[in-house]
A and B are shown apart, each in its own frame.
Chain A
Amino acid sequence: MDIIHPLDRYLRTDRLPHIWCPGCGIGIVISAMLRAIDRHISEGHFTQDDVATVSGIGCTARATLYLNFDSAHVIHGRAIPFAIGLKVIKPNLKVIVIGGDGDIAAIGGNHLLHSARRNMDITVIMVNNMVYGMTGGQVAPTTPMKVYTTTTPYGNLEYPLNLIKLVSSLNTNYVARASVTHPHLIERYIYNALSRDGFSFIEVISICPEVFGRHIGFRNPVELFNKLKSMIKFKAKPSIDESDIVWGKEIVLGEYVNEYKSGFIKLLYGS
C-alpha cells in the first residue's frame, strides 16, 4: 500500500474512490474521527488492532467498509446491539458506532436509548444531515418542520427529535454536538469520547447538498455549508435547554454531558 496521506493507514485505500457525493459532509466527519483515533494511538492509549467500527445501513454507515480496522457493516438500525456484543466479549476493544440519523435515531432509536441508559462502553457518532440520504431524500426524525421531502410532499408536520436532550436525559458519560463546519471540534469531541469508559454520544450536524439541500433550496454545497455555518454557535458549557435545532436560527455546539462514571463493563467485570 502506498501511503500518500498520513491517515491512509486507517483506510482500505484499495476500495477508493468512495460512494459519497461531491459536497457531502461525511468525509469531514471520517477524517476528523481518524485524526482523533490517530492521536490516541500515537499517545499509546490503544493500537489500531484495538479499534472496532460498526455501522448499520445508510450513506454514513458506508464509512466502515473503507476503514482499515476490524469492522462491521451490518443491518439498518442494529449497529449498536452488534457493538455491545463485541464489547462485552472483548472489553479491550474501542468500539465505535457510526451512522446516520435514520439509522441511529429512527429505526435504531430504541437501541440508542437503552445503550445510553446502560452507560454501555461504546462511542456512537451520529451524522445528522436531517434527511434520509441513501434512499433518496425522505423525511427523517430530525427533519425540521415544514420541509418538503419525497415522503412529506406537503411539508413535514412533525417536530424534530432533539437527540442531545434525549441522550442527556439518560445515564451517559458524554454527550456532545459538533458540526462539519468546525472539524476541529469533531476531532476534539471524538478524542474526548474515546478517553473514557461508559457511553459517549456525538451528534455531528452535516450537510447533504444533493438531497437535503435540494429540498430546502440550497443545492450548491458551498452555499449550504455557509448557511449552516451562519447558524452555528459554540458554547464552552452549553445548557440542554438551548439544544433544540430550529433550522435558520441557532444550532449550539458543545459538550452537554461530560462525566467519568463507571461504565457497564466495569460493573460487569469489576475493575
Chain B
Amino acid sequence: MRLEYLTGNHAIAEAAIIAGLKFYAGYPITPSTEIFEYLASKLPTKGGVVLQFEDEIASINAVIGASWAGAKAMTATSGPGFSLMVEALSLAIMTETPLVLAYVMRAGPSTGIATKAGQYDVMQVRWAAHGNYELVVYAPWSVQECLDLTIKAFNVSEMLRVPVILLSDATLAHIWERVVIREPPEVSIVNRKKPKVPRDKYKPYEPEEDLVPPMACFGEGYRVLVESLTHDERGYYKATNEVQRRLVWRLVNKVLKNKHLISDSATYLVDDADYVLIAYGSTARSAYALIRELRSKGIKVGLYRPKLLWPLDEEMLINSTIKAKKVFVVENNVGVYVREISRVLRNKEVISIPIIDIEVPTPDEIFEVMKEWI
C-alpha cells in the first residue's frame, strides 16, 4: 500500500498498470489525454506497448486485436472519439473481447467545450452501438474511485469477456486528490479463463456454466476464429433464428446473470430518509455535500449513488428508496438518466433536477430546485 497525490486521469492509468495492462492504443482528445501520456511514459517500462493511431476507430480495433493476442488492452477517449468507436464496441461485444475503455466526458454536443465537464453521454455510452446487448459501465466520483473502478473494470472485462467502460468526466479528470494505491496481492486481479480441453475439442464460443466461454488466443494453436457475423459455438456463421436467439440471449444473460459479481453502489443516510437524492459521478459530490447540510438542519434526506451505471442494479435502487416520499435525480445534463430511474421506481414520485454546469452543479444550485418540492 502506498499513498499518492494524483489526478483522476493519472489514477485511471496507474490502475490500468496494476490491473496488468499490456497494450494501450489511442488518439489524443481532451480531457482524456493525460491517461495516454502517463501510460506512454510508464507502460513501456513495465513491458507494455503504447501506440498512437490515426484515429479512434483504429485505436479500438487495435485494442481488440491485442486482446485476442492475449494482452490486457485499453483505450481512452471523450465524446467525439467514442462516437467513432461504437461500431467496434459492438464488435467487441459480439466477439466477447475483454477490453477497457475509459470515457472521459466533456460538454457537448459536437466539439462543445473540450476542457469542461458534463454528463450528457450516459445514454449514448449505453445505447450508441448497434444490436442488442448489456454493457457494463462504471462511474467514479473521486480520484480514489477512478483507481478502484478501473481495476474492477479490468477484472470484470476478463471475467465476463466483455468490453467495460469507465465513465469519468472533465472535472474528475483534472482534480488532484490523495489516493491509496494497493497492488497485488493486496488487491485481487482477475485473468480470463483459458481452455481446459484439447486443441481439437476447443470451441471459442462454447460457454461454461457462468455463460462465459474460456478464451484461447492467437498463436496458441487453437485455431481461433474471431467472427463478427452471427456464429455458433465454433464461430461458424449461421443465419438461423435458433443460433441468433441463442447467441444474443447468452451475450445479454452473461452480464445479467453475473450481476452480483459486478454490481456496485453506495448509499448515505437512506434508511430513514423522506427524500432520496440519486446522483452519479462528479455531480454526486455536490449531492453528498447537500444532504449533509440538510441533515444538519433536521431534514431527513439521503443519497443513493450508483457506481455501476449500466446495467442499473434495480434491487439496490428499490431497497435504497423504499421509505422515500420523493426521489430526486440530479445530473449535469438535461435530465436523461432519470428515465432509467423512473422506469424502475414506477410508483414513486421521481423528480428530475437537471443542472447544466461546466464544472459541477453546486449544492446551492441543486437545493434551489429541490426546495420547491420539500
List chain A positions with a Cβ less than 8 A from chain B.
15, 49-50, 52, 54, 57, 64-65, 68-75, 78, 80-90, 92-93, 110-111, 114, 268
**Are B68's CB and A72's CB within 8 A?**
yes
**Are A75's CB and B228's CB within 8 A?**
yes
- Name which of B4-12, B57-65, B360-368 contacts chain A: B57-65
How long is the Cα–Cα vector from A64 to B231 in the complex, in angstroms? 14
Tell me how far the C-beta of A201 lies from the nearest C-beta in chain B, rounded to whole angstroms: 17
Q: Chain A contacts of B87 at CB under 8 A?
A: 75
**Are A90's CB and B61's CB within 8 A?**
no
Interface SS of B by simple majority: mixed
How long is the Cα–Cα vector from A65 to B230 in the complex, in angstroms? 13
Report if A85-B236 is in contact (Cβ < 8 Å); known contacts: A72-B65, A72-B226. Answer: no
Q: Which chain B residues (17-58) contact chain A, with CB distance < 8 Å? A: 22-23, 25, 49, 51, 53-55, 57-58
Chain B interface residue count: which class? 35 or more
**Are A57's CB and B53's CB within 8 A?**
no
Q: Chain A contacts of B16 at CB under 8 A?
A: none
Give the one of B22, B59, B73, B219 with max A CB within 10 A.
B219
Report if A52-B62 is in contact (Cβ < 8 Å); known contacts: A71-B224, A75-B88, A110-B55. Answer: no
Report if A93-B218 is in contact (Cβ < 8 Å); known contacts: A69-B223, A82-B65. Answer: yes
Given contacts A81-B59, A93-B219, could you give 14 more A-B pairs where the C-beta distance is less than 8 Å?
A49-B220, A49-B221, A50-B219, A70-B219, A70-B225, A73-B229, A75-B61, A81-B58, A81-B65, A84-B58, A85-B68, A89-B71, A90-B69, A90-B218
Check B268 for interface membership: any CB of A closer than 8 A: no
**Are B225's CB and A89's CB within 8 A?**
no
Report if A15-B218 is in contact (Cβ < 8 Å); known contacts: A70-B224, A86-B69, A89-B70. Answer: no
Q: Chain A contacts of B288 at CB under 8 A?
A: none
Check B237 for interface membership: any CB of A closer than 8 A: yes
Q: Chain A contacts of B57 at CB under 8 A?
A: 78, 81
**Are A86's CB and B218's CB within 8 A?**
yes
**Are A70's CB and B228's CB within 8 A?**
no
**Are A82's CB and B70's CB within 8 A?**
no
Enumerate the 7 nearest inter-chain pairs by beta-carbon distance, A residue then B residue, closest first: A85-B65, A89-B69, A72-B226, A85-B66, A82-B65, A81-B61, A85-B62
Q: Chain A contacts of B58 at CB under 8 A?
A: 78, 80-81, 84, 110-111, 114
Q: Chain A contacts of B70 at CB under 8 A?
A: 89-90
Sample (15) of A-B pairs whose CB atoms are under 8 Å apart = A15-B236, A49-B221, A69-B223, A72-B68, A74-B64, A75-B61, A75-B87, A81-B59, A81-B65, A82-B64, A82-B68, A83-B65, A85-B23, A85-B64, A93-B219
How long is the Cα–Cα vector from A93 to B71 in the complex, in angstroms? 14
Q: For residue B225, which residue of chain A has the nearest CB?
A: A71
Query: How would residues 267 to 290 of chain B score, 1 for a CB under 8 Å from any chain A CB and 0 otherwise?
Result: 000000000000000000000000
Check B222 for interface membership: any CB of A closer than 8 A: yes
Q: For residue B67, which residue of chain A has the nearest CB?
A: A85
Q: Chain B contacts of A70 at CB under 8 A?
A: 218-220, 222-225
How long is the Cα–Cα vector from A73 to B25 in the complex, in angstroms? 21
Q: For residue A57, which residue of chain B has the nearest CB?
A: B228
Tell me how far the C-beta of B316 lies from the nearest C-beta in chain A, rounded to whole angstroms: 36
- B23 touches which of A71, A75, A88 (Cβ 8 Å): A88
Give the one of B23, B68, B73 with max A CB within 10 A.
B68
Tell me how far the C-beta of B221 lies from the nearest C-beta in chain A, rounded to whole angstroms: 5
Q: Chain A contacts of B66 at CB under 8 A?
A: 85-86, 88-89
Tell me how far the C-beta of A68 lies from the nearest C-beta in chain B, rounded to whole angstroms: 6
Q: Which chain B residues (79-102) contact chain A, with CB distance < 8 Å? A: 87-88, 91, 95
Tell me how far the C-beta of A240 lies from the nearest C-beta in chain B, rounded to whole angstroms: 24
Q: Chain A contacts of B68 at CB under 8 A?
A: 72, 82, 85-86
Q: For residue B57, which residue of chain A has the nearest CB?
A: A78
Report if A110-B54 is in contact (Cβ < 8 Å); known contacts: A57-B228, A85-B73. Answer: yes
Q: Which chain B residues (279-337) contact chain A, with CB distance < 8 Å? A: none
Tell me how far the C-beta of A92 lies from the nearest C-beta in chain B, rounded to whole angstroms: 7
**Are A85's CB and B69's CB within 8 A?**
yes
How long is the Cα–Cα vector from A150 to B224 in the complex, in angstroms? 37
Q: Chain B contacts of A86 at CB under 8 A?
A: 65-66, 68-69, 218
How long is the Cα–Cα vector from A78 to B62 in the complex, in angstroms? 9
**Are A92's CB and B219's CB within 8 A?**
yes
Q: For residue B236, which residue of chain A has the nearest CB?
A: A15
Q: For residue A85, which residue of chain B has the nearest CB?
A: B65
How long is the Cα–Cα vector from A27 to B3 in the complex, in angstroms? 61
Q: Chain B contacts of A268 at CB under 8 A?
A: 49
Give the one of B55, B71, B225 with max A CB within 10 A.
B225
Q: Chain B contacts of A85 at CB under 8 A?
A: 23, 25, 61-69, 73
Q: For residue B63, which residue of chain A has the nearest CB?
A: A85
Tell me how far the C-beta of B223 lies from the nearest C-beta in chain A, rounded to whole angstroms: 6
Q: Chain A contacts of B63 at CB under 8 A?
A: 85
**Are B23's CB and A89's CB within 8 A?**
yes
Tell me how far the C-beta of B147 lies from the nearest C-beta in chain A, rounded to whole angstroms: 25
Tell me how far the C-beta of A41 lies from the nearest C-beta in chain B, rounded to whole angstroms: 14
